[in-house]
Amino acid sequence: MGTDRYAYLSRLRQVDPVAKTVLSTSAGAVCLLCGGLAPGLGTLLVMGILTTVWGKIPGRVFVRFLGIPITFLLLGCVTIAVGIYDGNTGGVWGLSLGSQVLGVTPASVHQALCVIAKSLGVISAVYFLTLNTPMTDLTGGLRRMHVPMLLIELMDLIYRFIFVLTETAGKIRTAQDSRLGYQGGFRSLSSLGTLSSMVFLRAWKKADNVYAALESRGYTGTLLTVSEEYRPGNLCYGLIPLVWGTQMLCLLLEGKVFG
Amino acid sequence: MKRSLTNVYFLMALACLLPLQTHAMHIGEGMLPAGWSIAWGVVCAPFIIYGFLNIQKRIHATPKVKILLAMCGAFAFVLSALKIPSVTGSCSHPTGVGLAAILFGPGITSVLGLIVLVFQALLLAHGGITTLGANTFSMAIAGPIVSWLVFRGLKKTNVSTAVSVFFAAALGDLATYVVTSIQLGVVYGGFGKFLAVFALTQVPLAIAEGLLTVVIFNILEKYSKSELKELAVV
């Protein structure tokens, strides 16, 4: 599902998840702190190269995943760029409403572009982690970082159940759709309601069965599994200064050009 | 003449963006500055800790609750991935905020919501890790609390269950996006601007989600009285 499918094929799959998490979060955090157009695009470039060349994730997959958050990024950024300005503001362009203008100014467009670039930078840093680390390895890594046990266990269980329920929901949806269940607004709503409640009921029954199965195998309240053997992630730690250097360089360059 | 032409171009440019409304309620990765990301995380912490202790206590009493809650979390994730038809012809995704709050109460919903948001951010790139605190506060804390209060309040006044479920879900939905607008508004200025954009797209969705929740709740009430009773204990 989603990024997880590709994470299993990544060349970096066997690398220590903690190291990958540290690299990804430090790149994302510095990108967020720098802000601005160039550091965002710089982070996007570096993390994109790391994911596609080092992790061997196909480039088109990376680009396709970048496209997913674009829709709500754009919606948010249009709201930032468009505003109501006084008619005399320099460079304002848009819909005139008497003395006021509903539109954009060069400054507001620049701000919106900066936010888009920054977001893309952080997103690429997160994708480096998620496209190279399967979720089960990630929760194992979180366990080693001392996140509360109960939270991790809930995450593990939820992750496993997601696939079961998605399959159930997909099958019901196909069945409803083939009987014209999604023709028109109200019929769709009622079909969707039936689907959701049936998935809920099945989830409940399934939980009963899972618990019975666990209990009959001596379940005492925790599900512990042996963690996998990983390759040490020294290279990941070594790459952090490189990523930071690129981001700082971008920040300096941007300051030269616009400053 | 030139001015009206500009106006036409501007409106056309805006019209192109109308279909972009799926998942508008999540704040995307990197949209908030570092300070605000941390601040919202800190605001969430007491609610999450309360919910976490609450869950721990219940699991201690009945171990089966853990599996049930995990199933409910997975259900919330799957529900949020379904497409819901909206009046304007476009479609969006239900948040499940109201349903979860009515079924589990706001404490447990906050923890399950947090986990679901983590999965949405990592697996589907909806929302984000840096904006996790802000999204958790709007979708897993503020919205559910409003829903729960509305549901409890209306139940006391002898309104039919369907009506209270509808208002709980719809108002919880609205509360979520009002909070999201505030979160974006304090950073970028113009809180009203964000509210106006979301109001156009979200009011029909809130109504659709309210109706959907009523349909779900009716069926659950009909076929699974015992589970609902058990949930009141959970």
Residues of A in contact with B69 (CB under 8 A): 154
Full DSSP string of B185-221: HHHHS-HHHHHHHHHHHHHHHHHHHHHHHHHHHHHHH
Does the pLDDT at position B17 exceed 80? no
ipTM for this prediction: 0.86
Find residues 7-46 of chain A whose CB sits inside 8 Å of chain B.
25, 28-29, 31-33, 35, 40
Q: What is the pLDDT of residues B80-132, one digit of tens each?
A: 877 766 544 455 667 777 888 888 889 889 999 999 999 988 888 888 888 99
- If one counts every other C-beta atom within 10 angstroms of the C-beta of residue B3, the result is 9
Q: What is the pLDDT of residues B143-193, one digit of tens each?
A: 999 999 999 999 888 888 899 999 999 999 889 888 888 888 888 777 777
- Residue pair B110/B141 in contact (Cβ under 8 Å)? The answer is yes
- Residue pair B197/B180 in contact (Cβ under 8 Å)? The answer is no
Cα separation of A39 and A41, whole Å? 6
User: A84 to chain B nearest CA, in Å?
Assistant: 9
Q: What is the pLDDT of residues A42-86, one digit of tens each?
A: 999 999 999 999 988 998 999 988 888 877 677 777 777 877 777
Cα separation of A196 and B94, whole Å? 11
Backbone phi and psi for residue A227, each to the nearest 5 degrees, phi listed first: -75, 155
Does the pLDDT at position A222 exceed 70? yes
- The stretch A35-45 carries a mean pLDDT of 88
Find residues 205-244 of chain A whose CB sits inside 8 Å of chain B.
206-207, 210-211, 214, 219, 221
A5 Cβ partners below 8 Å, 6+ apart? none
- The stretch A8-34 carries a mean pLDDT of 90
Cα separation of B99 and B105, whole Å? 10
Question: Of A69, A50, A63, A191, which Cα lies nearest the Cα of A119?
Answer: A69
Confidence of residue A179 (pLDDT cuts 50, 70, 90): very high
- Kindly provide the b/e burial profile for residues B87-108, where b requires at least 16 CB atoms within 10 angstroms of the residue's own CB: eeebbbbbbbbbbbbbbbbbbb
B64 Cβ partners below 8 Å, 6+ apart? A207, A211
> Domains (ranges, CATH) in chain B?
33-233 (1.10.1760.20)
Rounded to the nearest 10°, the torsion over CA A193, A169, A202, A137 is -130
